[in-house]
Chain A
Amino acid sequence: MTDDELDPLIHVPTRLKIVATLAALPDGDTLSFTRLQDLIGLTPGNLIIHLRKLEEADYITSEKTRNGTVSVTTIALTGHGRKALSTYTQTLRGLLGGLDGDGTADHEHQRT
């Protein structure tokens, strides 16, 4: 098993944090953009770039609602996104299961 098997969309620190945070909510629950930003500690611009990538892959959905003059964007993890995180976690476990005591992956040894 190699790092290449890890979903490249999730295997980026910021996107991993986004997906893991959304996965902490029950299926179907949504989180506002501002709360997600607060939880992850990103600038709005940085966050939106990653959200777009995840949305293009159907890992998340976003919905904009208008309440008077205020518009609120809510984000939710899709079933597809939840499944992708589950697969990513399993792959990660598989990779780490093949680690030596010194933290070096088996495949690293195979390469050298």
Chain B
Amino acid sequence: MNPTPTTSADDGGGGFDPQQAAALLDQTTTQARRKLAPSPPWLLATRAVAVLAALGAIWLTVRGQHPYTGPTGADVPILIGFVVLNFAATVGVRQHAMTGVAGTTRFRPAEIAVLTASWAAVPVLMWALHAAGVSFALYPTTVLIVPGLAWAAVQGARDGWRGSVTGLAIAATGVVGAFAGPAGSWAVAGVGLCAVLLGKAAAVARQQHA
């Protein structure tokens, strides 16, 4: 240990009754879980609202298109801005929470490689489906399938089936969107991702107070 003792420390539990101990244990555990959470419930809930607002706004502009031409020029910067902001906030909060933490909580290089590859595979898959004439190839929900499955695999390997639920729900949203049509898939993506994020936020909050 590096620092040199500079102050004396209390050593006895005298005057520390069981009720005080239980309250301190409960408070410390909740506080530590909250501060060390890589994805805190407030961030997940904020992302849920933001994704619903961003994708819902695009759905409102494309739902009346006959034929469907896709998001307008004004929608694209909003979408890109949302993705960048979402990514930056998620990474920033995670890094802050993980300061000084080492071990299994952090992603291993192999896991980061799998997740990065899954995102890199998205345009390739969409192009291949489009070339094959698949109707839902360019739907926004199609983007979710491969990263959702990759997330399920990575988290499932870490925490078992419970860990894979979020990823599978994201992939399922992608599959459902394939049946919703080009405009409807924006709504499916927004509602589906919002529901997944809110569910995750509730699960993390429950875990923190368990």
Residues of A near any B CB (own CB < 8 A): 3, 6, 8, 11-14, 16-17, 20-21, 23-26, 28-36, 38-39, 43-53, 62, 64, 71, 73-74, 76, 89, 92-93, 95-96, 99, 103, 105
Q: Chain B interface residue count: which class?
A: 35 or more
Measured between beta carbons, the chain A residues less than 8 angstroms from B24 are 13, 16-17, 20
- Considering the complex, give the chain B residue whose CB is closest to the CB of A40: B28
The A interface, classified by DSSP as helix, strand, loop or mixed, is: helix
Closest Cβ–Cβ distance, residue A28 to chain B (whole Å): 5
**How far, in angstroms, from A14 to B9 measured CA to CA in the complex?**
9
**How far, in angstroms, from A30 to B106 measured CA to CA in the complex?**
11
Whether the Cβ atoms of A12 and B3 lie closer than 8 Å is: no
Whether the Cβ atoms of A71 and B2 lie closer than 8 Å is: yes
Measured between beta carbons, the chain B residues less than 8 angstroms from A31 are 100-102
Whether the Cβ atoms of A32 and B103 lie closer than 8 Å is: no
Whether the Cβ atoms of B11 and A33 lie closer than 8 Å is: no
Measured between beta carbons, the chain B residues less than 8 angstroms from A76 are 103
Would you list which residues of chain B between 1 and 25 have a CB under 8 Å from chain A? 1-13, 16-22, 24-25
- Considering the complex, give the chain A residue whose CB is closest to the CB of B13: A11
Measured between beta carbons, the chain A residues less than 8 angstroms from B35 are 39
Whether the Cβ atoms of A12 and B29 lie closer than 8 Å is: no
Q: Is B32 an interface residue (CB 8 A)?
A: yes
Closest Cβ–Cβ distance, residue A99 to chain B (whole Å): 7
Whether the Cβ atoms of B9 and A33 lie closer than 8 Å is: no
**How far, in angstroms, from A93 to B19 measured CA to CA in the complex?**
10
**How far, in angstroms, from A8 to B156 measured CA to CA in the complex?**
39
Q: A29-B101, A46-B7 are in contact. Are A13 and B16 (CB under 8 A)?
A: yes
Whether the Cβ atoms of A48 and B18 lie closer than 8 Å is: no
Measured between beta carbons, the chain A residues less than 8 angstroms from B104 are 26, 28-29
Can you list 16 residue pairs at the A/B interface with Cβ under 8 Å? A6-B18, A17-B24, A21-B28, A23-B29, A29-B102, A43-B7, A44-B3, A45-B9, A46-B7, A46-B9, A48-B4, A64-B1, A73-B1, A93-B22, A96-B19, A105-B17
Q: Which one, A3, A20, A26, A53, contacts B32 given CB within 8 A?
A: A20
Measured between beta carbons, the chain A residues less than 8 angstroms from B16 are 11-13
